[in-house]
Amino acid sequence: MISIFDIYKIGIGPSSSHTVGPMKAGKIFVDELKQKQFLQQTDKLTVDVYGSLSLTGIGHRTDVAIIAGLAGNLPETVDIDAIDPLIAKVEETEVLNIDNGNHTVAFPASEGMNFHTTNLELHENGMQIHAWSKGEKIFSKTYFSIGGGFIVDQESFGQESETSQEIPYPFTSAQELIQQATNNGLSISTIMLKNEQSVMSTDAINTQLTAIWQTMSACIDRGLHCEGLLPGPLKVHRRALLYIKAGDFSFNQC
């Protein structure tokens, strides 16, 4: 079953596949580095980004997302106001604190982040992260951001996912969903709720949905009150507050 929480995720923008996924990959890499007991001997990290992930990498802040992930952040919990200061410090010092500040590595401007126009063989959204010690590469991983914020490593690419738990009203298309609703005399929303309840409690569902709505609402509020330029190289001015001040829009319309 594709859960509603697979569709609606809390994460930073502007892209689930080019921003959310790469941040997850950075975090996963350092976690695995630590698990394999390579963390303490690692003195430098480098990243190679390929294909579509590379071609729009600057505009989609893919590089920023990867660095933030390596530092220990996750898309659903990262403090967005802390990201730009983090990147500025890395650019100034060419040093990156990883594993939530527990270890420091070099991240040179000349080789830390490398964008390639070529694709890796398995997918157009590919990236590789490398750990170094005294000039020797000691650990590398290849990740693919396959859409919707999902990340898969090269070893797992193309493998069947684990069999999901049985749900009361299965469907594989919109037509089958409508047929389930008709056959059982239920609304589509009720069918979806009952399917979700087969894998988690009602309280957990409501808690997650509330968190998603609160995040959406906070995002709208932030957009309506912020001035200046949007993040990224295009230097696009934020306009919402200008319209409000000009009297062309009111908060009551939100």
One-letter-per-residue 3-state SS of 88-126: HHHHHHCEEEECCCCEEEECCCCCCEEECCCCCCCCCEE
| Average pLDDT along the chain | 90
Do 137 and 190 belong to one domain?
Answer: no
Domain that holds residue 132: 16-156
Domain count, the chain: 2
> CA 39, 84, 226: angle at the middle one, nearest 5?
150
Do 121 and 186 belong to one domain?
Answer: no
Q: Look at residue 237 in the predicted model and tell me its pLDDT.
A: 87
Q: Which of 124, 156, 188 is the last residue of a domain?
A: 156
Any domain includes 241: yes
Q: Which of 100, 76, 78, 104 is nearest to 90 (CA)?
A: 104
Q: Which of 102, 114, 128, 130 is nearest to 44 (CA)?
A: 130
CATH number reported for the structural domain that contains residue 70 in this entry? 3.30.1330.90
Mean pLDDT of 191-210: 96
Do 150 and 223 belong to one domain?
Answer: no
pLDDT tens-digit series, residues 67-82: 999 999 999 999 988 9
Do 102 and 128 belong to one domain?
Answer: yes
d(CA 155, CA 250): 52
Residue 121 CB partners (closer than 8 Å, separation 6+):
none
Any domain includes 163: no
> CA 233, 27, 131: angle at the middle one, nearest 5?
95
> How confident is residue 247, by pLDDT bands cut at 50, 70 and 90?
confident
Helix (H) or strand (E) holding 197: helix 188-197
Do 136 and 209 belong to one domain?
Answer: no
> How confident is residue 98, by pLDDT bands cut at 50, 70 and 90?
very high
In the chain, the percentage of residues whose pLDDT exceeds 70 is: 94
pLDDT tens-digit series, residues 113-153: 999 999 998 888 999 999 999 999 999 999 999 988 888 98
- Neighbouring C-beta atoms of residue 125, cutoff 10 Å: 26
Any domain includes 11: no
pLDDT at 56 over 90: no
d(CA 88, CA 90): 5
213 close to 221: Cβ distance less than 8 angstroms: no
Do 96 and 183 belong to one domain?
Answer: no
Do 142 and 186 belong to one domain?
Answer: no
